Amino acid sequence: MTIFLATLLVAASIAIVLYPLWRHRGGGPRLDDPAVELRDRLRRARDRTYQEILALQQERFMQDLSDEEYRARLDELRLHAANLIRQQNRMQDTLAEIEDTLEDELHKRGAGDQDA
Amino acid sequence: MADLGTTSIIVALALTLYAGVTSFAGARQRNDVLVLSGQRATYASALALGIGVLALVVSFLQNDFSIRYVAEHSNLAMPRVYTWVAFYAGNAGSLLFVAFALAAVTSIAMARTPHGLGAQRPYANAVLMTILTFFVAVMLFMANPFVTLPTVPLDGQGINPLLTHPGMFIHPPMIMTGLIIIAIPFALGMGALLSGKIDDDWVDAGRVWGIVAWAMLGTGLLLGAWWAYTILGWGGYWAWDPVENAAFMPWLGLTAFIHSIMVQKRRGMFRMWNIVLINTSFALGAFGIFINRGGPVPSVHSFGASTLGWVFLLFLGVTVAVSFGLFFYRFARLRSRSRLESVLSREAAFLVNNLLLLAVAFVTLWGVVFPLISELVTGETITVGAPFYNKVNGPLLLALVFLMGVGPLLPWRHATSATIRRALAIPAALTGAVFVALLVLGVHNMIALVSFTVSSLVAASVLQEWVRGTIARRRVSGAAYPVAFAQLMATNRPRYGGYVAHLGIVMLAFGIIGSQFYNLERDIILSPGQQASIGDYEVEFIGSQSLPLADRTERTATLRVTRDGEFVRTIQAWQGFYPSFSMLSTRAAIYSTPKEDLYVMFSEVQPDGESAVFRLLVNPLVWWMWMAGPFVILGTVIALWPARQRASASVTTPVRGSPLPTGVG
């Protein structure tokens, strides 16, 4: 029983470890796809900015800040959030354009092959 | 089972080595298949070590005394429930526990860390797997719990009597797991340095794991204090024992880290500080392992004679060299975006907080290593006791409590005198009232008076924040006060969860001050029927009974307690003598109220066989210390509770002069 369990453990470990190498032997998924990374980073930066705006509103609520200080800081944060969203939108538009171009090219090549 | 256990450790070693190498190589070469394989190997190492844990537990349950570790830490008379404690009672078993905990926690951390961290994640995994490889290698080659005996004994030695206490079911696992979890934010920080992406992306995950480690370590320390209070028989709860200090120091470092990282999250500042703090916390944790297992300084906690000291000292040296080497290598890129604008700001308060906490940690470290240094230099071992720590750390800790009261009231960036007046007026007035009330109540010890007053400042500050916030919330939402309060807590969980934890610390401070400055103590010999008085109590010794058992002889003393002539309760103090350990274990009889504890410890029976020596104590406010634990845990849970995801909304560029929002969204 002990030998069986030990053998099972060794076999399972080898299988778990080698599975990704076998599954993606032709090239694997881009875990750190720069586009995905940039999108996630922008999203995290935007979430942090929203959290800051919430915290700022909280401080204003508690009268820890004057109207002037609050307005100045809020404008700054809202501008920052707007910039982040614009960057995200630009990135998505660029990626969509690239995808459309790629599809067209593939479609043309596919049609060309059929003609040949 | 021994073969299965050893096989699982060998497999684990191979997996951790593989995971470390492939994660590092994968991150370096941007080879995502290698990174994925390394991550899978991490999960598999947790599985392998889990099987090792199961093998050892089954060995205990089957009383397999062919395994040396089982024979040394259990016997036929041991109740099954203590199997859990016996598992980590010794050096080898606790190493297996630590290794499994690290593998499991790493697997969770890597599965939950965002993919968007890019190369930071596999670098962090490589660091964690390197640490785990070290522990597994030490276990396999120097402290294998599955080593077998040449001849199988008929019975084992039994479990250390000091460990047969409810606290031992939780205290050691909490401490060990808390120390292990420090590795997670440490590895995330190292991952950021190794990848060269010195931005703030690792801060969110680092903060969460830092708080988890802090809460576990803090709860473990409090449980240890409770264990010492009930079982060691001296009526105290903290002796600045080297191994207690070894867990206390990284907790101090983590306290600084989890506060300081809020500044990086909020203002992009203190980047260098946070790397230094997490490096220091991890190094202090490694130092703690060295103290606990190397045994260079005697302690009631350490695993006694051990040959592992130099190995863990080497590990500590390498950890410090590599982590701080990386820090200096990336030094120029760690510069913060913003600067400190004013000494009257929350950022400045956090900076002073960091300095004070590190000061306490280093004073404590000095006290721990001084005996070693004195022996090295003079040939004579000079031990450092509680008076040194109390004298030096006492004022520093008091300053920290003061900061806990004032810091949260300061605004970010800079405070005007009007802001400070508005923030501190009510707490200062309440604190002044407490000061006068204490004087009237007869608290004349100046240190106790100042300490109570400063602690009440924290409570007053928290109360003000809650009351003002609830009133403001109610004004906007129209909800009832309890609902408005719940809504307030939900709007900023990290802040208000932190306040709950701060209240827990205040309760702890109250208990320490009361019991340190106003305790009463009396040693007396009583015969059955005789009574003694202490404080407001009269304690009558009814009699004692002896009960011989298979592995011990128990003796129970029954006492009748009255106060001002009124019957309060019957209490029992217990002692057990374990011949195989030549050890006497005791349990105090404790009558506990929020005002004070009556504490009775039963000592030697006299030659007449009837009378006995008793130590009687009255410890004011100790009850509040144990109540602090649930508050700290509750505060941690609130602080870490995930916020509801906001629906995405468009943000338009604001027009200057546009109306301000009237409420919190």
Listed residue (B313, B305, B255) closest to B288, CA to CA: B313
Chain B residue numbers touching A39 (CB-CB < 8 A): 116
Q: What is the mean pLDDT of residues B458-477?
A: 89
**Which residue on chain B is closest to A79 by alpha carbon?**
B653
pLDDT for the residue numbered A33 = 64
Local confidence band at A25 (pLDDT 50, 70, 90 cut-offs): low
Q: Note whether residue A7 is domain-resident.
A: no
Chain B residue numbers touching A22 (CB-CB < 8 A): none
pLDDT tens for each residue of A9-21: 888 888 888 888 7
The closest CB to that of B646, out of A30, A36, A50, belongs to A50
pLDDT for the residue numbered B665 = 31
Tell me how close the Cα of B116 comes to any Cα of chain A, in angstroms. Answer: 5
Average the pLDDT over each of A99-108, B283-292, B565-574 and give the range with the smallest value: A99-108
pLDDT for the residue numbered A50 = 82
CB-based contacts of B13, cutoff 8 Å, min separation 6: B133, B136, B137, B140
Q: At residue B600, does pLDDT exceed 90?
A: yes
pLDDT for the residue numbered A69 = 78
Tell me how close the Cα of B172 comes to any Cα of chain A, in angstroms. Answer: 29
Top pLDDT among B136 and B233 is at B136
Q: Which of residues 531-590 of B touch A (CB under 8 A)?
A: none
Q: At residue B514, does pLDDT exceed 90?
A: yes
For residue B381, the Cα-to-chain-centroid distance in whole angstroms is 29
What value does the mean pLDDT of chain B take?
Answer: 88
Top pLDDT among A35 and B53 is at B53
Contact between chains at B35 and A31 (C-beta distance less than 8 A): yes
Q: Note whether residue A3 is domain-resident.
A: no
Q: Note whether residue A15 is domain-resident.
A: no
**DSSP string of B338-375, one letter each residue:** S----SSSHHHHHHHHHHHHHHHHHHHHHHHHHHHHHH
- Gap between the Cα atoms of B116 and B27, Å rounded: 14
Q: At residue B482, does pLDDT exceed 70?
A: yes
Q: How many other CB atoms are found less than 10 A from the CB of residue A108?
A: 10
CB B297 within 8 A of CB B382: no
Top pLDDT among B193 and B157 is at B193
Q: Note whether residue A6 is domain-resident.
A: no
Contact between chains at B495 and A58 (C-beta distance less than 8 A): yes
Q: Note whether residue A18 is domain-resident.
A: no
Structurally, chain A folds into a number of domains equal to 1
For residue A105, the Cα-to-chain-centroid distance in whole angstroms is 26
Local confidence band at B114 (pLDDT 50, 70, 90 cut-offs): low
| Residue of A17, A24, A48, A83 for testing the chain B interface, max B β-carbons within 10 Å | A17
pLDDT tens for each residue of B330-355: 998 888 877 888 888 899 999 999 99
To the nearest 10 degrees (0 to 180), the angle between helices B91-112 and B120-142 is 170
Local confidence band at A48 (pLDDT 50, 70, 90 cut-offs): confident
Top pLDDT among B323 and A9 is at B323
pLDDT for the residue numbered B655 = 41
pLDDT for the residue numbered B145 = 94
Q: At residue B618, does pLDDT exceed 60?
A: yes
Q: What is the mean pLDDT of residues B311-332?
A: 93
- Gap between the Cα atoms of B444 and B439, Å rounded: 6
For chain B, the helix, strand and coil percentages under 3-state DSSP, each to the nearest 5: 65, 10, 25
Q: What is the mean pLDDT of residues A51-77?
A: 78
Top pLDDT among B559 and B266 is at B559
Q: Note whether residue A4 is domain-resident.
A: no
Q: Note whether residue A108 is domain-resident.
A: yes
Q: Which range in A55-69, B48-62, B300-314 is most confidently predicted, on average pLDDT?
A: B48-62
- Enclosing domain of residue A102: 29-115
pTM of the model: 0.88
Give bridge partners of residue B545 from the DSSP assignment. B556
pLDDT for the residue numbered B337 = 72
Q: At residue B653, does pLDDT exceed 50?
A: no
Q: At residue B197, does pLDDT exceed 90?
A: no
Average the pLDDT over each of A16-25, A37-46, A59-68 and give the range with the smallest value: A59-68
Contact between chains at A9 and B3 (C-beta distance less than 8 A): no
Phi and psi at B214, nearest 5°, equal -60, -45
The closest CB to that of A13, out of B1, B44, B204, belongs to B44
CB-based contacts of B626, cutoff 8 Å, min separation 6: B222, B226, B511
Q: Hey, is B238 helix, strand or coil?
A: coil
Tell me how close the Cα of B524 comes to any Cα of chain A, in angstroms. Answer: 57
pLDDT for the residue numbered B500 = 95
Q: What is the mean pLDDT of residues B374-379?
A: 86
Interchain CB contact of B473 with A (< 8 Å)? yes
Q: Note whether residue A2 is domain-resident.
A: no
- Gap between the Cα atoms of B19 and B35, Å rounded: 8
For chain A, the helix, strand and coil percentages under 3-state DSSP, each to the nearest 5: 85, 0, 15
